[in-house]
Amino acid sequence: MEEKILTLHPQGKKRGVNISQAKYETMKKTILEVLRKGGLTHHELTDAVERKLKGKFDGSIPWYMEGTKLDLEARGIVERVPGQKQDVYRAKR
């Protein structure tokens, strides 16, 4: 049986989602790899993750990316920095 992880949500009251541990780990690694190069808007982050995983990931890349990103925010691994036009996401050092 596949192991699952219940993701967290940065707004503690909201519920996370149950996703495959393997897909979560793939997404987490890819998000952090992309964000280590610098902060990105939500759109840029989604595009960069899709480019890296296209053809190598089974499932909706934007959906898994969003759930994993929210979990990483809730755990303090990724931060959302309010911008003038758009928020920017970056990996916390």
Predicted TM-score (pTM) of this structure:
0.92
Neighbours of 25 (CB within 10 A): 12
Domain topology for 4-91: Arc Repressor Mutant, subunit A (1.10.10)
Calpha distance 60→35 (Å, rounded): 20
Do residues 21 and 76 lie in contact, with contact meaning Cβ atoms separated by under 8 Å? no
Mapped onto helix, strand or coil, the DSSP state of residue 80 is strand
In this predicted model, what pLDDT tens digit does every residue of 48-74 receive, in sequence order? 999 999 999 999 999 999 999 999 999
pLDDT band at 13 (very low <50, low <70, confident <90, very high): confident
